[in-house]
Amino acid sequence: MQDKLTLMTPGPTPVPESVLKAMGNHPIGHRSYEFEVLMKEISEQLRWLHQTNNDVLTITGSGTAAMEAGIVNTLSYKDRVLCGDNGKFGERWVEVARAYGLDVEVIKSPWGQELDPEAFRIVLEADIEKSIKAVILTHSETSTSVINDLKSINHHINMHGVAVSIVDCVTSIGVINIPMDEWGIDVICSGSQKGYMMPPGLAFIAMSQRAWKAQENSTLPKFYFDLSFYRQTSIKNSNPFTPSINLYFALKETLKIMRKEGLESIFMRHLQHSRAIQSAVQAMGLSLYAADGCRSPAVTAIQAIDFEAQSLLSLMKNNFDIVLAGGQDHLKGKIFRIGHLGFICNRDILMVVAAMEATLHNIRPNKMLQGKGLTAAINELSLKSR
Ligand SMILES: *Cc1c(COP(=O)(O)O)cnc(C)c1O
């Protein structure tokens, strides 16, 4: 049915109507007083969201723009870096780092497993000459629905003392607690189409004082992504280039909504929704792809063992107007993924579970007792009693 499509993909994610409407305003000049007021408010709210007093800068681009900016602003040709890789986005970090001629050492974990903080500790402690200039990793690995132990890994990076941490928090910011200053994270990258409840098009990068020090010494080529330009202009509540002004309207609105809900509530909602989906899926007799103990609150990957993942996705869309995501690379056809981050409420959770039960009943009838998943999901949600 037209206009009833529900996105339950791990990006893009659904957008509140007030955010969509905000985008429909006429653009304003980006050198105007009105834009300065807008920028000032946005910058303050972005710092709140990142739990930091550092600069949080906005680039027009998708999440990968922030990732690339993170690398080119802190590093120089042939710098030695450690990259965590346990999925598609970990691989992307390695690709970006290699594209710029960095000396990349990869710390791998199998897909579906978390990165081992001990592996980072060992390499970092062995680096007595302090040749490692950055440790680069993905917090919530969207391709496998694994959440990595950022707090522990970042602690080992801080102990090293020289390497900066550069973290892809694209599906974890606004989803799970990341106290940037308290944990001492140097660079946090994110994009608008995930936890921000916005359309794609804006990338965010938060930079610590240590990251700015690295920025001064970094010699990798950059122009549009040269964050020193963004920093200089952000002091004056301005932007070096023409920003996507209408997305800034949306950003202001969505940050207002997030602030009203509060960080604690946002994190709790995502945790409960992820638990509801995980329990429901298991009650339906399906297996989760991510290992126990490291499941992301943003997205759930589910194994498609005795049915075609693609037919489930098609039936969910054709019968229920719900869009889920498939697997990437070698997981294509082997898993499917439910995104439950951003603008998602209890109703969406029950709806997707009920629709999945109906669909699975359709494609593997003898394996399914309808209502089991729904009951499991309901038990995980905290429902008001009055
Ligand atoms: C979505 C996503 C990105 C960003 O991808 P873009 O298509 O560039 O926005 C990066 N990392 C993770 C973990 C993601 O989920």
Model pLDDT for residues 206-248, shown as the tens digit of each residue: 999 999 999 999 999 999 999 999 999 999 999 999 999 999 9
- For residue 323, name the pLDDT band (cuts at 50, 70, 90): very high
Tell me, yes or no, whether 242 and 266 share the same domain.
no
CA of 125 to the centre of ligand 1 (A): 30
Confirm whether 328 is domain-assigned.
yes
- For residue 386, name the pLDDT band (cuts at 50, 70, 90): confident
Contact status, residue 187 vs residue 206, Cβ threshold 8 Å? yes
- Write down the pLDDT at residue 366: 76
Range of the domain at 240: 17-260
Average confidence (pLDDT) over 159-170: 98
Q: What percent of the chain has pLDDT over 70?
A: 100
CA of 169 to the centre of ligand 1 (A): 9
> Which two three-digit tokens encode residue 181?
């200053």
Tell me, yes or no, whether 309 and 229 share the same domain.
no
Tell me, yes or no, whether 55 and 91 share the same domain.
yes
Confirm whether 1 is domain-assigned.
no
Residue of the nearest CA to atom 14 in ligand 1? Answer: 170
Ligand 1, atom nearest to 171 Cα: 15
- DSSP string across 299-314: EEEEE-SSS-HHHHHH
Q: Is the CB of 63 under 6 A from ligand 1?
A: yes
Residue of the nearest CA to atom 2 in ligand 1? Answer: 170
Mean pLDDT over each residue of the chain, to the nearest integer: 97
CATH of the domain at 137: 3.40.640.10
What does the H/E/C string look like for 127-179? CCCCCEEEEEEECEECCCCEECCHHHHHHHHHHHCCCEEEEECCCCCCCCCCC
Tell me, yes or no, whether 200 and 187 share the same domain.
yes
Tell me, yes or no, whether 248 and 325 share the same domain.
no
Task: Among 213, 232, 260, give the residue marking a domain's end.
Answer: 260
The CA-based angle 67-72-78, given to 5 degrees, is 115
Ligand 1, atom nearest to 139 Cα: 13
Q: Is the CB of 171 under 6 A from ligand 1?
A: yes
CA of 363 to the centre of ligand 1 (A): 31
Query: Among 9-13, 144-148, 365-369, which stretch is predicted with the lowest mean pLDDT?
Result: 365-369
Contact status, residue 200 vs residue 247, Cβ threshold 8 Å? no
Tell me, yes or no, whether 221 and 272 share the same domain.
no
- In the chain, the number of structural domains is 2
Q: Is the CB of 89 under 6 A from ligand 1?
A: yes
- Write down the pLDDT at residue 63: 97
Q: Is the CB of 142 under 6 A from ligand 1?
A: yes
Q: Is the CB of 168 under 6 A from ligand 1?
A: yes
Tell me, yes or no, whether 164 and 98 share the same domain.
yes
259 phi and psi angles, rounded to 5 deg: -65, -40
- Write down the pLDDT at residue 1: 82
Q: Is the CB of 195 under 6 A from ligand 1?
A: no
CATH of the domain at 338: 3.90.1150.10
Alpha helices (H) in 164-261, listed in sequence order: 180-183, 209-217, 227-235, 245-261
Indicate yes or no: pTM above 0.85: yes
Confirm whether 243 is domain-assigned.
yes
Q: Give the H/E segment covering residue 35.
A: helix 33-50
Task: Among 260, 284, 305, give the residue marking a domain's end.
Answer: 260
Q: Is the CB of 191 under 6 A from ligand 1?
A: yes
Distance CA 2, CA 20 (A): 17
Tell me, yes or no, whether 100 and 163 share the same domain.
yes
- For residue 301, name the pLDDT band (cuts at 50, 70, 90): very high
Q: Does the pLDDT value for residue 156 go beyond 90?
A: yes
Tell me, yes or no, whether 254 and 278 share the same domain.
no
Residue of the nearest CA to atom 6 in ligand 1? Answer: 63
Side-by-side strand order, sheet with 325-326: 299-303, 335-339, 325-326
Task: Among 260, 294, 310, give the residue marking a domain's end.
Answer: 260
Tell me, yes or no, whether 241 and 173 share the same domain.
yes
65 phi and psi angles, rounded to 5 deg: -60, -40
Confirm whether 365 is domain-assigned.
yes
Tell me, yes or no, whether 220 and 266 share the same domain.
no
Could you tell which of 140, 142, 178, 189 is best to mutate to test the pocket of ligand 1, judged by most ligand atoms within 8 Å of the CB?
Answer: 142
Model pLDDT for residues 268-279, shown as the tens digit of each residue: 999 999 999 999
Ligand 1, atom nearest to 65 Cα: 8
Tell me, yes or no, whether 232 and 283 share the same domain.
no
Q: Does the pLDDT value for residue 120 go beyond 80?
A: yes
